Amino acid sequence: MSAHVEEIRLNLPHIELAAHLYGPEDGQPVIALHGWLDNAASFARLAPRLPGLRIVALDFAGHGHSAHRAPGAGYLLWDYALDVLLVAEQLGWDRFALLGHSMGAIVSVMLAGAMPDRVSRLALIDGLMPYTGEADQAPTKLGEALLAQLALAAKRKPVYAAIDRAVEARMKGVGAVSREAAELLAQRGLMPVAGGYTWRTDSRLTLPSPLRLTRAHALAFARSLKCPALLVLAEHGLLQTEPKFVELLDGLPLDVRRLPGKHHLHLDDEAGAQAVADCFNPFFAAP
């Protein structure tokens, strides 16, 4: 399924972000947020199936065609949340919905929990809370992160002789995807270099986090949600492997739908995209 999509640039005070724009100008405002190491093409199959919405599908900073953060800066979840809020400010959207997949869903929950007056509803795909770390692990984890940053200058991105090789690598990456999904992500995510192609993503995105929220912190954001929230879970997605995740859902203020498919069920094939759309269309149409 195809629909008109416009490429736009958003000049924030500290960085320039790229995005795909879908839907009518008077549509319900929605900011769509992709997963880690993906890009705006993550919504290429789903967005055209959500009529009546004005969807701005961002390339997060360091991903796709968006700029990389300045030297010395990092890619923490709350930095992404600020970027999203600044995008809404630039668009003139006082209130807006968030459509998030994986890491994009995590950022969505954090922003909605922190700024309940700004977020009208949450549509989440196989993502909810970040990986957590308890206080006693913090010194060790920070040490590992600092060493990784020191070693980054000596690391080199992989170079693929042909686009097909990059597509095959992405199919086997974190949250393995179908070939068609990998091709869509590669169209936006690859750039030519000497010897072939490499990913546009900032190498710093693969660094370990210097600080993680505790489980109590992460749950506090999810429990603070005030807007309507719907989580679509993939039967073979990443969240199903999290220990005690199902028990956590019982006490959270959101509706949950389970669908066949893997972590990228909204992108892997047309049937998956339609199934996700069939969940979200009534949700967005509700008063």
Q: Which residue has the higher pLDDT, 214 or 243?
A: 214
**Once rounded to an integer, what is the mean pLDDT over residues 67-91?**
96
Residue span of the structural domain in which 118 resides: 6-136+213-285
**What is the C-alpha separation between 110 and 101, in angstroms, rounded?**
13
pLDDT at residue 246 in the model: 72
On whether residue 85 sits in a domain, the answer given is: yes
Percent pLDDT > 70 in the chain is 98
pLDDT at residue 240 in the model: 76
Which residue intervals of 51-162 are DSSP H helices? 77-91, 103-114, 138-151
On whether residue 188 sits in a domain, the answer given is: no
On whether residue 167 sits in a domain, the answer given is: no
pLDDT at 110 over 70: yes
The tens digit of pLDDT for each residue in 163-218 reads: 999 999 999 987 789 999 999 999 999 999 999 999 999 999 999 999 999 999 99
Q: Which residue has the higher pLDDT, 242 or 243?
A: 242
On whether residue 201 sits in a domain, the answer given is: no
On whether residue 145 sits in a domain, the answer given is: no
The verdict on whether 224 is a catalytic residue reads: no
Average pLDDT, the chain: 95
Q: What is the CATH number of the domain that holds 57?
A: 3.40.50.1820
Q: How many CA atoms lie within 13 A of 43 on its CB side?
A: 34
On whether residue 107 sits in a domain, the answer given is: yes
Number of H helices, E strands in the chain: 9, 10
pLDDT tier for residue 238 given thresholds of 50, 70 and 90: confident
On whether residue 99 sits in a domain, the answer given is: yes
Domain count across the chain: 1
Residue in 102, 108, 178, 209 annotated catalytic:
102
Contact 101, 268 (CB under 8 A): no
pLDDT tier for residue 243 given thresholds of 50, 70 and 90: low
pLDDT at residue 2 in the model: 59
Q: Residue 212: left if φ>0, alpha if ψ -120 to 50, beta else—which one?
A: beta
**Once rounded to an integer, what is the mean pLDDT over residues 252-264?**
95
What residues contact 28, with CB distance under 8 A and at least 6 apart?
A: 52, 53, 54, 97, 284
pLDDT at 279 over 90: yes
